[in-house]
A and B are shown apart, each in its own frame.
Chain A
Amino acid sequence: MKEHEILTPEIVEKQTIRREEMRADILRPLQQKAGILANLWVAFLAAVLLIGCFAYYLQLKHGLIVTGLRDYATWGIYISNFVFFVAISLVGALISSVLRLTNFTWYRPITRIAEIIAVAGVIWAGLIIIIDMGRPDRILNLFLHPRIQSPILWDVIVVTTYLTTSVLLLYLPLLPGIAICRDTLTNKPKWQRWMYKFLALGWTGTEDQWKIMKKSITMLCVVIIPLAISIHTVTSWLFATTLRPGWDSTNFGPYFVAGAFLAGTACVIIGMFIFRKVYHLEKYLTEVHFSNMGKLLVFLCCVYAYFNINEYFIPYYKMRGPEARLLTDLFSGKFAGLYWSAQILGMALPAVLLLFKPMRKPLPVTLIAIPVVVFAWVKRYLIVTPILVHPYLPIQNVPESWINYFPSWVEVAIVSASLAGVLLIITIFSRLFPIISIWETLENEGIEVEDLDKLKNEKV
């Protein structure tokens, strides 16, 4: 209990009522039976996932020949997707840690949305990199014969570490919420009640439990910031340490990190809007949150634009041999449509539009965030594929299919399945656990749940 605060019985009663009110609002979606639309949504995602599983079975059976990958374009949409998932997973660190450690408070109701996007993103990032391997069993060689000089090993280490940290950062602040589910949702199936009981770790809200939890969260917040920067920097080094026009850049690390924060923030905005509408959380995910996220998006667009100028303008100024061919293809060749759409619709236009206050209302800001996410994926495709078909040594006397890359239906099905997988994790999570952190949101309103729990335990 904070020393300067005097909790009179009236204040305690008022705060307890407010807490119960918030609990009821946030637990309502969990108590209600899922509607037909919600079930159809899950069925649709499961169907896409199953089709992807079948496509992967074909890939395992026949090898990578069923994909559009050939000798030049060895990385296609699988790796583009991997980079995209790593990118969106960074938002967990941005929202949970950077804002937490810099003493911002407005972000608190959206932390859990950011964290579950991060966890879902990094799980599928790890899976998609294995899918990209023609012989997934050989991943064991990475651990049996490790070579610390290889960026591939760094990537595996950092993805595993980031996944563990993100899961812990999602789980720890969720403990009081799971305990509420355990105590409140008694009409749920047995397995669900058992799960709540197991995951709640006997949470009763004692002073020690709150102390250990808050200390652990602070430790994780400190660790996750360099880790998040590392995960995307190492991902960028997978490219930058390879001698290719377009990848041979010292700018790649910060360029990737800036792009990741932008993509992740846009994902959170879309997530906020959907949960607000579907779970009727207008009281907690307010217009202020959308406005602030819109401002954050403008800032991140500007930072990303700065790195884009460094990344493309300087090679364009020099127009050195093989890079000139690549840039010509990007600026005015066969990739020009995608390139300029990504730069304008995915970065420049959103930044300009969001400068106007009416555009930062929930619906407009979400509509603006959608192309940011879509073109963030396209941008990753443009970072991976055009460069592979523009090597330093000219391509000569090879089949036509090696020169141009176009993903096969197997690749499209698997990538769609991975996207469905991310959405499925988020959907299932939001049906089982509170999507808004109750104690953090109450702290934002000046109510210390820790104090209320202490009083309750003393009474008991």
Chain B
Amino acid sequence: MTNNLKYKWLGKLLIAVVFSLPISLFAGAKQAKVEKEAEPATAVMKITFSETDGVKVCKAIIEAGQKPVEGVEVKFYAKRFFSMLPLIANGKAVTTDEKGEAFINFPKGLPGDCNGTIVVTAKVEDNEKYGSFESKDSVKWGTIISVSDQEEEWSKRSLSATGDRAPIYLLSAAGVIIMVVWGTLFYVIFSLVRIKKAGKIKK
């Protein structure tokens, strides 16, 4: 009787394992499939620069599997000292056309480095199909700011400059006020000496 009960329990366990194993394997495979499906497709972005009739155009071309990708939003930035400067007002995005191209007119007068080089970055952010990716390239379209120019700029007198480069108007105004007020005070202090002398003469 006891042995019969043992076998019954073992039989039930065996049936459970037999049924649960394929189910768990199937579920695992499905999950792996879902995970595989969630991975974004790979897209490649390339930046090109062209100039026609004095108009400078910066273009981003997106391809996936060597086919152009339409309808992807691209944002263009220029690298600055501390952050990225959006090349379109308010950081708006440009959508790629049927050729997979998104382009902007490059702004005039943007300062570059000592050679006029500007590093342009095109960014795709959180695209449903392709996720986030970016591409960088440099172009010599910037205004050349030489070290000497920068030094000259920094050596200019201004309110934000160092103490020895204070604006002349501030120095002269402060100087005149201080001289007038302290001149009066020194005159009054000198008057104390005169008061003392005036008392002595009387004596």
**Does B181 reach chain A (CB closer than 8 Å)?**
yes
Known: A161-B181, A219-B184, A227-B181. A147 touches B195 (CB 8 A): no
Sort chain B's interface into a size bin. Answer: 20 to 34
**Does A172 reach chain B (CB closer than 8 Å)?**
yes
Known: A149-B163, A201-B195. A168 touches B188 (CB 8 A): yes
Q: Smallest CB–CB gap between B186 and chain A, Å? A: 10
- Distance A154 CA – B196 CA, assembled complex (angstroms): 34
- Distance A25 CA – B77 CA, assembled complex (angstroms): 83
**Does A63 reach chain B (CB closer than 8 Å)?**
no
User: Which residues, 147 to 203 on B, are CB-close (under 8 Å) to A?
Assistant: 159-163, 166-167, 170-171, 174, 178, 181-182, 184-185, 187-189, 191-192, 194-196, 198-203
- Distance A206 CA – B197 CA, assembled complex (angstroms): 11
Known: A147-B163, A148-B163, A457-B202. A202 touches B196 (CB 8 A): yes
Contact of A209 among B171, B174, B178, B199 (CB under 8 A): B199
- Distance A146 CA – B175 CA, assembled complex (angstroms): 13
Q: Which residues of A contact B181 (CB under 8 A)?
A: 161, 165, 223, 227
A203 to B185, Cβ gap below 8 A? Answer: no
Known: A168-B188, A212-B195. A149 touches B201 (CB 8 A): no
Q: Give the nearest-CB partner of A169 in chain B.
A: B188
Q: Which residue, B159, B171, B192, has most C-beta atoms of chain A within 10 A?
A: B192
Contact of B182 among A161, A201, A213, A215 (CB under 8 A): A161
Contact of A148 among B160, B171, B194 (CB under 8 A): B171
Contact of B195 among A146, A168, A209 (CB under 8 A): A209
- Distance A215 CA – B192 CA, assembled complex (angstroms): 12
Q: Give the nearest-CB partner of A168 in chain B.
A: B188
Q: Which residues of A contact B195 (CB under 8 A)?
A: 175, 201-203, 209, 212-213
B185 to A168, Cβ gap below 8 A? Answer: yes
Q: Smallest CB–CB gap between A152 and chain B, Å? A: 12
Sort chain A's interface into a size bin. Answer: 20 to 34
Q: Smallest CB–CB gap between B42 and chain A, Å? A: 37
B184 to A157, Cβ gap below 8 A? Answer: no
Q: Which residues of B contact A202 (CB under 8 A)?
A: 195-196, 199-200, 203
Q: Which residues of A contact B194 (CB under 8 A)?
A: 208, 212
Contact of A206 among B170, B178, B185, B199 (CB under 8 A): B199
- Distance A231 CA – B89 CA, assembled complex (angstroms): 45
Q: Which residue, B160, B167, B185, has most C-beta atoms of chain A within 10 A?
A: B185
User: Which residues, 206 to 220 on A, are CB-close (under 8 Å) to B?
Assistant: 206, 208-209, 212-213, 215-216, 219-220
Q: Map CB proximity to B onto A171-191 as digits: 1 under 8 Å, 0 otherwise.
A: 010010000000000000000
Q: Which residues of B contact A145 (CB under 8 A)?
A: 163
Q: Smallest CB–CB gap between A51 and chain B, Å? A: 36
Contact of B203 among A146, A164, A204 (CB under 8 A): A204
Q: Smallest CB–CB gap between A202 and chain B, Å? A: 4
Q: Which residues of B contact A216 (CB under 8 A)?
A: 187-188, 191
A147 to B199, Cβ gap below 8 A? Answer: no
Q: Which residues of B contact A175 (CB under 8 A)?
A: 195
- Distance A457 CA – B199 CA, assembled complex (angstroms): 11
A208 to B198, Cβ gap below 8 A? Answer: yes
Q: Give the nearest-CB partner of B188 in chain A.
A: A216
Q: Give the nearest-CB partner of B175 in chain A.
A: A148
Q: Which residues of A contact B160 (CB under 8 A)?
A: 149
Q: Which residues of A contact B198 (CB under 8 A)?
A: 206, 208-209, 212
16 other A-B residue contacts (CB within 8 Å) besides A161-B182, A220-B188: A146-B163, A147-B163, A147-B166, A148-B163, A148-B166, A149-B161, A149-B167, A149-B170, A154-B174, A161-B181, A172-B192, A209-B195, A209-B198, A216-B188, A223-B181, A227-B181
A interface list, Cβ under 8 A from B: 145-149, 154, 157, 161, 164-165, 168, 172, 175, 201-204, 206, 208-209, 212-213, 215-216, 219-220, 223, 227, 457
A-B contact pairs, 5 of them (CB 8 A): A147-B163, A149-B167, A149-B170, A202-B199, A216-B188
Q: Which 9 pairs show the lowest CB-CB distances between chains A and B? A: A147-B163, A202-B199, A208-B198, A206-B202, A201-B196, A216-B191, A209-B198, A148-B166, A216-B188
